Structure 1
Amino acid sequence: MGKAKWWKEAVAYEIYPKSFKDANGDGIGDIQGIIEKLDYLEDLGIELIWICPIYQSPNDDNGYDISDYKEIAAEYGTMADFEALLEEVHKRGMRLIMDLVINHTSDEHEWFIESKSSKDSEYRDFYIWRSGQEKGKRPNNWASIFGGSIWEYDDETEEYYMHIFSKKQPDLNWENQEVRNRLYEMVNWWLDKGIDGFRIDAISHIKKKEGLPDLPNPQKEPFVESYDGHLNQPGIDVFLTEFTEKTTKQYDAVTVGEANGVTVHDAEHWADEESGYFNMIFQFEHVELWGTKSSGLDLNQLKTSLSRWQAALDKKGWNALFIENHDLPRVVSTWGNDQTYHKESATALAVMYFFMQGTPFIYQGQELGMTNVKYHTIDDYRDVAIKNYYQSEIEKGKAQEEVMTYIWSNGRDNSRTPMQWKNTKQAGFTEGTAWLKVNPNYTTLNAETQQSDPDSIYHFYKRMIQLRKTEKTLIYGTYTLIAEQHPQVFAYIRSSEERHFLVYANLSSKNTSVDVPEEWRIKKTILTNYTDRTESGQILNLKPYEAGICKITPV
């Protein structure tokens, strides 16, 4: 077993504050709303809360464009509200981590305003500025992740600045030591305030390819949609080592790196128990398997990907486990069946990931099985990436229905609809008009209804959390994938010297069966999402989306 740590044993919950709970009726979730719902989180069994950005921001990308790192955005409240939240979280024995966005700032940050003011500004080199290759031609052919060129032209100084994301999110120049020092000072300021750590956004993008060369472009695209110029580049280790040594490793802080592009070969450097940059990382290999409803889930690839990470960090580091976040559509609508088998598929997907080796993260509403939404007009959407996508595809001549169908399956606003608290106007999220329309299914799918139903998705999550707290083997035990080639079932064994468990999930809408390995015997089912689970020797006969955990013993 690995070393015991509180953050390994915790269950984490991600809050997207704009959509969580509005306390003042302006239609936007806020800090006081989070305080109101801390008892809900405590009752669920949550011990670690991650809050998406609440810093001052013009909200071009819902707070991931920060204009002042040391101020709270007015729509969320004040610094006094935040300090009250921190106190209330700690009072309940929970911990709080904030989102740290240090690849870029808002173009309304004072550093960028100064940087843009003149080529001679002392802040000019805080960002990545370049002249065009020739008049009217951008410095290189890289595409922005949010569409279009990665370069934006500034008429005043007649140069281009780089933005990996929105043009209102200019990238910071990490090659500049002064930039790094300013960021470290800010990070330590928050840690001194008493927060418990950070989830660190887009951190694998901070190093850019030496010389910013054009990327290969065999298709002769206007801009090359590749991350090859700015994802996990050689030399990033120097930045990350310095950053962590001067900030988070000076404190009793937990850190979760958003490690897009980091492979199992890099895992040790990023999340090693002794020398890693972070305590754990969000890796995105399995997210790349995210199928639309038409393509479905490639279960064998999912098993391979998640099991590879289990093996890579076993006894060396720690996984951050997730199947939902604020950047993904809802899992029950994507990998599950949100109609006929809503409850069964939501709970089966939960079992599948929750009992692997790592700290499980629940995204707000996931514990209710919240689903994707189908707004019928692009005007009802708020996500800058999806709006850019819509405009770009329509300009290419695609039919509106085709574009909207893609958005219904893949848009980030699917997970950003207001939290569905009750069967009342605006789902109990606000007394006003919500900033993003509430999913119409709130009348039947909401927390209040599920809390009063012991057979609900909410209560299943609560049982999973309680089981994980009481069985240390399900935290620290070894992980062994079984039934590797089974086309419908994801199953694995968690094992320690004292105890052994079989975790299984039928991730399909068809009945199936799976053989229990002959060296094991089923002793007792301790968790199931079907009330009429029966044992049958060495074979598990599974109904659609049936999942659970058995105690097993060696033969």
Structure 2
Amino acid sequence: MEKKWWQSSVVYQIYPRSFADSNGDGMGDIPGITGKIEYLKKLGVNVLWICPIYQSPQDDNGYDISDYRTVYPEFGTMEDMKILIQKCQDNDIKIIMDLVVNHTSDEHPWFIEAKKSLDNPYRDYYIWRKGEDGQPPNDLMSNFGGSAWEYSPETDEYYLHFYSKKQPDLNWENPKLRQEIYDMMNWWLDQGIAGFRMDVIDLIGKIPDQKIKENGPMLHKYLHEMNEATFGHRDSMTVGECWGATPEIGRLYTDPARKELSMIFQFEQIQLDKKPGGQRWDLKPLYLPDLKCVFSKWQTELEGHGWNSLFWNNHDLPRIVSRWGNDGDYRVLSAKMLATLLHGMKGTPYIYQGEEIGMTNVPFQTIDEFPDIETQNIYQERLKAGFTEEETMYAIRAKARDNARTPMQWNAEKNAGFTEGIPWYRVNPNYKEINVEQALADPESVFYHYQKLIQLRKEHEVMVYGTYQLLFPEDEDLYIYTRTLEEEKWLIVCNFHEKTRKLQCKRAGQVMLSNYTDTPAAEKITELRPYEAVIYQMESWDANHGERGQDHSSDFEADIELV
């Protein structure tokens, strides 16, 4: 594959509402982001993914857009956005914008016109159907709960919405609609941004009459057309949110020869702590071999035919240190372990705001403390389905999107330094112990571990382009793999749990990074302590172990003894 700048990049995701408030109104804003560029440069990231900052009624925190070319006033102005773009460019940081084109707000001028009459010029910008005997056209369900169809009395028809009823789905079968989207994308690219993260992009090829939501037959034609009409002729980065992707589908999106997207977010690993066939609220413990199987499948099957995105967190997911780490006594060690495991793999890593300081889930107890629209709807649905209040709240505390959306914790002062006003959302009460100021003052903090991981990627091509090979797939505690690039081989060893495990290695290797200060060289290691994670640069292969540059991972596994 041709080398691209985004393959060696590390992306930092910003949820503007909760990042930094510059004017004291309690809500994060664009000037707040601009004021933190030096901090982000210190971390070492070189791409910012900024969640929607467009004009919006905020029914779904900005993912309901009413004007794609105007900034939401509480976030700032277009001039503020231009200043941010320039500040980032001055610091060698690129910006990708969240692109939400599966749906708009019902307050978008297109929809306001579309619902007026059956023959309105904008009618076919959306998806309308007649009802059946006073009922919706079919039983398609919204991802936020309830029917995906909403009755519109103006024309006695239903419109489709796979999210809130205030987020009507766009009709991508309409070429005029598609051209409007492409014009808007080019307008933003002309402002100086470097690409797009594409929200639920696998839904744009939907065929509701056949109950096809994801991966519709026209999806890849639309994406190829989009590529040709917009970012394909620029040095851009694109990443698609694709909940229904498999590795086979992933190659369709990301194989450079197909001219669609740079990479996708696939969510197979995110499903591993829910009961089979259930919703994500139906919890079960994570089984580490399952995680290894999923990650390794994507690493292997996209090799040479696409590119992986690497992530634990985003604005829709709970904090990973609470989810699969240990946010109590081992918070720092387990946060570093999880970072090492992920950033050691092949692909472009993403860091969600606060992940780099080990922010945790919230300890809130009542449903009133979880204002997100999805959480509120699921709470009602689960109670109606017969789940108890205790069961429902336990699942919400574990999985709600709200966990990711509390304000960024900058210091131990009032409101965690996020705002001088009243924050739009409660700050996590642990901000006095977990905050940026504390992290920067502690050379052993989670922050500096992320900084070192990013630096390793910048300095060693094996971390970017090296081939991945899993070792010991069935071990239930240890995640061990290698990265190999020509004659160079690195070994990544992670203890995923609190127990100590015995381990010996017959190969020599120097420690490049560890979350313990006294981890020995590879040939001297005897055990892995709780959540211990280490990256070794192994000595080159010699004549006793075959030709240099070949992948001898199976031989390598024989030289490691686990107890």
- Contact 1:381 1:436 (C-alpha < 8 Å) held by counterparts: no
CA distance in 2, matches of 1:299, 1:273: 32
Q: CA offsets, 1:264-286, max 9 Å, x none?
A: 11222201133241111111111
Provide the residue aligned with 2:459 in structure 1. Answer: 470
CA distance in 2, matches of 1:315, 1:514: 33
Q: 1:314 to 1:400 in 2, by over 3 A?
A: same
Question: Which stretch has the larger CA shift, 153-162 or 285-294?
Answer: 285-294
Relative to the length of structure 1, the TM-score reads 0.94
Relative to the length of structure 2, the TM-score reads 0.93
CA distance in 1, matches of 2:491, 2:502: 14
Pick the aligned partner of 1:549 from 517, 531, 535. 535
The alpha-carbon deviation at position 289 of structure 1 amounts to 1.2
The alpha-carbon deviation at position 96 of structure 1 amounts to 0.5
Provide the residue aligned with 1:361 in structure 2. Answer: 350
Aligned-partner SS, 1:99:
strand
Aligned-partner SS, 2:248:
coil
Aligned-partner SS, 2:27:
coil
Provide the residue aligned with 1:221 in structure 2. Answer: none
CA distance in 2, matches of 1:349, 1:454: 19
Provide the residue aligned with 1:531 in structure 2. Answer: 517
- Contact 1:28 1:435 (C-alpha < 8 Å) held by counterparts: yes
What does 1:298-377 correspond to in 2, within 5 Å? 298-377=287-366
Pick the aligned partner of 1:156 from 138, 149, 154. 154
What is the aligned length? 535
The alpha-carbon deviation at position 539 of structure 1 amounts to 5.7
What does 1:23-422 correspond to in 2, within 5 Å? 23-134=22-133, 136-209=134-207, 212-213=209-210, 229-290=212-273, 295-422=284-411
- Contact 1:293 1:334 (C-alpha < 8 Å) held by counterparts: no
Provide the residue aligned with 2:555 in structure 1. Answer: none
- Contact 2:492 2:536 (C-alpha < 8 Å) held by counterparts: yes
The alpha-carbon deviation at position 536 of structure 1 amounts to 6.3
The letter of the residue matching 1:542 is: L
Q: 1:4 to 1:238 in 2, by over 3 A?
A: closer
Aligned-partner SS, 1:265:
helix
The alpha-carbon deviation at position 538 of structure 1 amounts to 7.4
- Contact 1:293 1:409 (C-alpha < 8 Å) held by counterparts: no
The letter of the residue matching 1:86 is: I
The alpha-carbon deviation at position 514 of structure 1 amounts to 4.1
Q: RMSD of the alignment, in Å?
A: 1.5
The alpha-carbon deviation at position 475 of structure 1 amounts to 0.7
CA distance in 1, matches of 2:413, 2:103: 40
CA distance in 1, matches of 2:177, 2:503: 56
The alpha-carbon deviation at position 253 of structure 1 amounts to 1.2
CA distance in 2, matches of 1:159, 1:446: 51
Provide the residue aligned with 1:20 in structure 2. Answer: 19
The alpha-carbon deviation at position 468 of structure 1 amounts to 1.4
The alpha-carbon deviation at position 65 of structure 1 amounts to 0.5
Unaligned runs of 5+ residues in structure 1 are 216-228
The alpha-carbon deviation at position 293 of structure 1 amounts to 11
Aligned-partner SS, 1:304:
helix
What does 1:473-512 correspond to in 2, within 5 Å? 473-512=462-501
Q: CA offsets, 1:386-414, max 9 Å, x none?
A: 01111222334433222111110010010
The letter of the residue matching 2:120 is: S
CA distance in 2, matches of 1:435, 1:362: 23
Aligned-partner SS, 1:179:
helix
Percent identity between the aligned chains?
48
- Contact 1:318 1:358 (C-alpha < 8 Å) held by counterparts: yes
Question: Which stretch has the larger CA shift, 2-11 or 504-513?
Answer: 2-11
The alpha-carbon deviation at position 376 of structure 1 amounts to 2.1
CA distance in 1, matches of 2:445, 2:423: 26
The letter of the residue matching 1:95 is: K
CA distance in 2, matches of 1:406, 1:395: 15
The alpha-carbon deviation at position 147 of structure 1 amounts to 0.3
Aligned-partner SS, 1:277:
coil
The alpha-carbon deviation at position 380 of structure 1 amounts to 2.0
- Contact 1:14 1:325 (C-alpha < 8 Å) held by counterparts: yes
- Contact 1:296 1:334 (C-alpha < 8 Å) held by counterparts: no
- Contact 2:509 2:521 (C-alpha < 8 Å) held by counterparts: no
CA distance in 1, matches of 2:463, 2:23: 41
Q: CA offsets, 1:23-82, max 9 Å, x none?
A: 000110000000010000000001011000000001111101000000000010000000
Provide the residue aligned with 2:5 in structure 1. Answer: 6
Aligned-partner SS, 2:508:
strand
CA distance in 1, matches of 2:283, 2:499: 17
Unaligned runs of 5+ residues in structure 2 are 275-280, 546-563
Aligned-partner SS, 1:239:
helix
